Amino acid sequence: MPIYEYKCQSCGHEMEAMQKMADEPLVDCPECGKPSLSKKVSAAGFRLSGSGWYETDFKSGSKKNIKDSDSASSSDSGGSCCAGSCGCGS
């Protein structure tokens, strides 16, 4: 279930609410009681990690361990696709 962020336009109170995507947006502020809550636009806060289907089915060779590939890409200055490592820039 997604977590939505809200801000009251009257008192400035900010809050988070776990709601289904089909639920109606909240309108009543729990702090001041006025119907002036508005939903904020924010980034999703999750990362797929571990040994799930992506890790085992779509990666090959040494790339299967996400921790090893993260540390290698952060120390490798030419590891991006735009630098030609994927064959598109050569």
Confidence tier at 33 by pLDDT (50, 70, 90): very high
Give the model's pLDDT for residue 43: 73
Please report, as a single letter, which amino acid is at residue 58. F
Give 41-82 pLDDT, tens digit per residue.
Answer: 877 656 666 666 665 666 666 665 555 544 444 444 444 555
**Would the pLDDT of 40 be above 60?**
yes
* Predicted pLDDT of residue 36: 95
Residue with tokens 């799930």: 52
State the amino acid at position 84 in one-letter form.
G
Q: How far apart are CA 32 and CA 15, in angstroms?
A: 13
> What's the DSSP call for residue 62?
G
Q: What is the dihedral of CA 7, 13, 17, 23, to 10 degrees?
A: -50
Residue 17 class from Cβ within 10 Å (0-12 exposed, 13-18 middle, 19+ buried)?
A: middle
Domain locations along the chain:
3-39
